[in-house]
Amino acid sequence: MKTPSWRKFLRGASLQRDLEEIRDLAVRYIKEETIQPLKDTGRFAAYGALGSIFVGFGAMLLLLGVLRFLQEQFKVLDGTLSWIPYLIVAVLAVAVMGLTLWRIVSGSAKRRLKETK
């Protein structure tokens, strides 16, 4: 039996080796294009969550500091007017949350959306 003419270009090549090479290529591609980006996204989300916790804790401490400052500096707010510093701090907290939400909503994603139009 005569060997086909195209076989001489593939000397030493075997179907098993080709299949192993394709499998290795597919595994490398999956790792590179799916697993690694997921790991990077997970790391990004973890650092973001940790940063958010620290910023939230710091904001809470600042608001508590403002409350204690108002209670100590304005003695006229003792007795029946002792609720006023709490109201001021609550309004300040709502304003900070509103500002934060406004910046999130009107951030870079909205600018990118306008650029694509």
pLDDT (tens digit per residue) in 5-58: 555 555 556 777 888 899 999 999 888 888 888 888 999 999 999 999 999 999
What are the sequence ranges of the domains in the chain? 15-116
Q: Of the candidates 102, 100, 74, which has an alpha carbon nearest to the alpha carbon of residue 87? A: 74
What are the backbone angles phi and psi of residue 48, rounded to the nearest 5°? -65, -45
The token duo for 80 is 């029946």
Compare 59 and 106 and report the one with higher pLDDT: 59
For 105, other C-beta atoms within 10 Å of its C-beta total: 9
Q: Look at residue 5 in the predicted model and tell me its pLDDT.
A: 56
The token duo for 54 is 């620290």
86/64 Cα distance (integer angstroms): 10
Q: Of the candidates 84, 83, 93, 91, which has an alpha carbon nearest to the alpha carbon of residue 56? A: 93
Looking at the predicted structure, is the pLDDT value of residue 105 above 90?
Answer: no
The residues near 92 (Cβ < 8 Å, ≥ 6 apart) are 63, 66
